[in-house]
Structure 1
Amino acid sequence: MNTDLAPARLSAAAPPAGTGPFAAYEARVASGRLDRDPEQEKAARRLDQLWRELRDYHPVVQSAPPASGWLGGLRARLGLARPAHEQARPRGVYMVGQVGRGKTMLMDLFFSLAPVEHKRRVHFHRFMQDVHQRLHDMKEADPDLTDPIPPLARQIAQEAWLLCFDEFQVNDIADAMILGRLFDYLFADGVVVVATSNTKPEDLFQDRPGADAFRPFIAAILKEVDTVILDSPRDYRRGNARGMQTWIIPVDAAATKELDSIFARLADGAPVVPVALDIMGRTLNVTRAAGPVARFSFAELCGRPLGAGDYLALATRFPNLVLDGVPRMGPDNFDEARRFIVLIDTLYEQNVKLFASAEDRPDAIYAKGQGATAFERTASRLEEMQSAAYMQLPHLNA
């Protein structure tokens, strides 16, 4: 079973066997570990419905791939591929809400209780990196393979027919071009999807080049999953940033000196050496590394065309990252801001400890203009990453 499940941010004893998500949520409220939130309760009830439906759902994913090419894709889109699965498959759940509303907590609670042997819980950036890696490997193994999407979908469905995605977001045109056909085949093979996101399905990848080609995927998601909106006014991540200083303002000589000291303490006597990380046949050079810590400037990590795969390789190799000179950002340097968002998502998922100098507070470095709403999650995560609780989490290096 491949879970990719990070440690829960809210610790709790495992519920008794046979407990559904709603009963487990109510138990946490009764014990005082959670405050009652009507929006969370609504989502917990919908997840509980899916939990009950999954108890009697057992798709049989065959070893042979479905028909490939335009005919296979057409059959999948029309619901003609594997009709038994199409009729019996429960509808998935897509939870949407602002940062800190409890979406991930609820999905992790559901995942831990789901009566499914073959299930996987994964951050969406990491899933797409795995998809790209597998496509690369399949094409290398068989240069004559004209359409790797159907056999790839079959592999994924055989490994896990319940997929839980945290932070479902599409920013990359390469991802957008793959997703439509991949999910057509996954749904045709009986896969059930649960996801969290800050963006409604119909708003994914909108106002970007290539958005028209992405609309069939949006239609498929709306057909196969129910959207549940968590509209709570409270951000449960706020107010936890205390203890260790990890976000140093402003960017000046004193901040550089402080980061020098932090880097030396984290290195604990290890020599400063360059490290080369291999990413799908290419190299990411880390010029300043010492034992468990790497150091970069903001320009080195976000000012050049790096992506989720680069950041994941970095985050799995180093438990600590020192970052110099995070600037204020806005629409004029949105590409840099977008890379910074992906970087922080990846560091957060791997429990990497971040020490940075910046021109302003996390919630003020991108305050206005297009992209400001997307940055709210990043600001919230940066605040949580300063907390004593986060600093105690074990690094995830796999």
Structure 2
Amino acid sequence: MATVMQDLYAEKVASGAIDPDPAQEAALPEFERILEGLAQPVRRGLFRRAPAPPKGLYLWGGVGRGKSMLMDLFAGAVPVPARRVHFHAFMQEVHAGMAEARARGVDDAVTPVAKRIADEVRCLAFDEMQITDITDAMIVGRLFEGLFGAGVVVVATSNRPPDDLYKDGLNRALFLPFIALLKERMVVQELAGGTDYRSGRLAGSPVYFTPADAEARARIDAIWQGLTGGETAPLTLRVKGRDVVLPEFHNGAARVRFHDLCGQPLGPADYLAVAEAVRLLVIDDIPRLSRSNFNEAKRFVTLIDALYEARVRLIASAADVPESLYVEGEGSFEFARTASRLREMMSHGWGQAEG
């Protein structure tokens, strides 16, 4: 049996890029099994039967356990047409495809979308699978039935086990068959290591820099490079018919300027979507807040509330310390709560309590 994943993993350990981790090593055979199954030739002919596709993999575990790193190795080794995509972005594409199908008068808009995807790839690799929207919850069952039926192999990472997807969601009973489908067509494996490597890269490093000057940007640039390796792309979140753009995104981490999120006419639904899509957010250039930029200040308060409730890690540069960001004007008294939350989010270990 080939040892592609084991070899790639060993190379990263030997180079010093990662430390060996028993939980990560325990997941390698599952990735290897899928690579071997996908590499089987699809023989065509009247009496020849295509080999059954291998079961997929649902790899779950807490933030920073190394899921994305393993997916990097896997995605680079897949021997067939494949696509790796953040699950949130994928579902936005699905909705767009369904809208196009409906515009053509197609009643069952899910089927052509599933067929198009299956025609393009034999393997789909999803980063950070999560279902929080009732519309997505009602679509994914039929969509994945179509993908699995066409032989598409799905590999997904998530912060939670399948049974916790869409937990406490509206009409969740209608979603349960999808969970059963995942368990039937994918091997479920927990990445149970106790080390949060993302937090480890931040250990001992400040996460709030003031003033927001060239030195602050250079220090955040260094942290960002360590988190992403310089490999970022924009992530567009479709929220109630409008686009919310995160200019830089990689493996659950996003970087924006204050104006990108708070200088735009965005509201609570937009910030909830951001909080659902990322596990770490870098905000550059938070200004002083006052009656002159009252709308931006209100949006910033709403954004921090959404990030706080979702336990998103925060790195920021700002004009001043939290308590001095908003000292005059309407709403300055209420900002004390936001300043307190910012202080808490700056503390060591913030965001590690939940996956």
For the aligned pair, the TM-score class normalised by the smaller chain equals 0.5 to 0.7
State yes or no: 1:39 paired with 2:35: no
Counting aligned pairs with the same residue, the percent is 33
State yes or no: 1:102 paired with 2:66: yes
Distance 2:157 2:142 in 1: 21
Q: Could you tell me whether the CA contact under 8 Å between 1:327 and 1:365 is conserved in 2?
A: no
Q: Which amino acid aligns with 2:160?
A: T
Q: Secondary structure at the match of 2:199?
A: coil
String of CA shifts for 1:161-185, please: whole Å, max 9, x gaps. Answer: 2000000111111111110100000
Q: Could you tell me whether the CA contact under 8 Å between 1:92 and 1:226 is conserved in 2?
A: yes
Q: Could you tell me whether the CA contact under 8 Å between 1:302 and 1:337 is conserved in 2?
A: no
Q: Could you tell me whether the CA contact under 8 Å between 2:128 and 2:157 is conserved in 1?
A: yes
Distance 2:175 2:43 in 1: 28
Q: Which amino acid aligns with 1:134?
A: G
State yes or no: 1:229 paired with 2:229: no
Distance 2:153 2:205 in 1: 41
Question: Structure 1's 246 and 36: CA in aligned 2 closer, same or farther, altered over 3 A?
Answer: closer
Distance 2:139 2:203 in 1: 42
Q: Which amino acid aligns with 2:268?
A: R
TM-score, with normalisation over the residues of structure 1?
A: 0.59
Q: Secondary structure at the match of 2:175?
A: helix
Question: Structure 1's 171 and 26: CA in aligned 2 closer, same or farther, altered over 3 A?
Answer: same
Distance 1:125 1:196 in 2: 12
Q: Could you tell me whether the CA contact under 8 Å between 1:129 and 1:309 is conserved in 2?
A: no
Question: Structure 1's 138 and 309: CA in aligned 2 closer, same or farther, altered over 3 A?
Answer: farther
State yes or no: 1:217 paired with 2:178: yes
Distance 2:52 2:146 in 1: 16
State yes or no: 1:194 paired with 2:155: yes
Deviation at 1:53, TM superposition (A): 1.3
TM-score, with normalisation over the residues of structure 2?
A: 0.66
Q: Secondary structure at the match of 2:201?
A: coil
Q: Secondary structure at the match of 1:240?
A: helix
Distance 1:58 1:125 in 2: 31
String of CA shifts for 1:293-348, please: whole Å, max 9, x gaps. Answer: 56167697875222788899xxxxxx975557766999xx779845x85xx8xxx9
Superposed CA RMSD: 4.4
Q: Could you tell me whether the CA contact under 8 Å between 2:92 and 2:238 is conserved in 1?
A: no
String of CA shifts for 1:171-209, please: whole Å, max 9, x gaps. Answer: 111111110100000100000000111110111112121
Q: Secondary structure at the match of 2:83?
A: strand
Structure 2: stretches of 5+ with no match in the other structure: 219-235, 246-255, 277-281, 288-296, 323-338
Deviation at 1:51, TM superposition (A): 1.1
Q: Could you tell me whether the CA contact under 8 Å between 1:91 and 1:225 is conserved in 2?
A: yes
String of CA shifts for 1:103-142, please: whole Å, max 9, x gaps. Answer: 11011101101111x10000111111111111122222x1
Question: Structure 1's 106 and 127: CA in aligned 2 closer, same or farther, altered over 3 A?
Answer: same
State yes or no: 1:162 paired with 2:123: yes
Alignment length (residue pairs): 286
Distance 2:123 2:272 in 1: 23
Q: Which amino acid aligns with 1:195?
A: A
Q: Could you tell me whether the CA contact under 8 Å between 2:272 and 2:306 is conserved in 1?
A: no
Q: Could you tell me whether the CA contact under 8 Å between 2:89 and 2:237 is conserved in 1?
A: no
Q: Could you tell me whether the CA contact under 8 Å between 1:57 and 1:89 is conserved in 2?
A: no
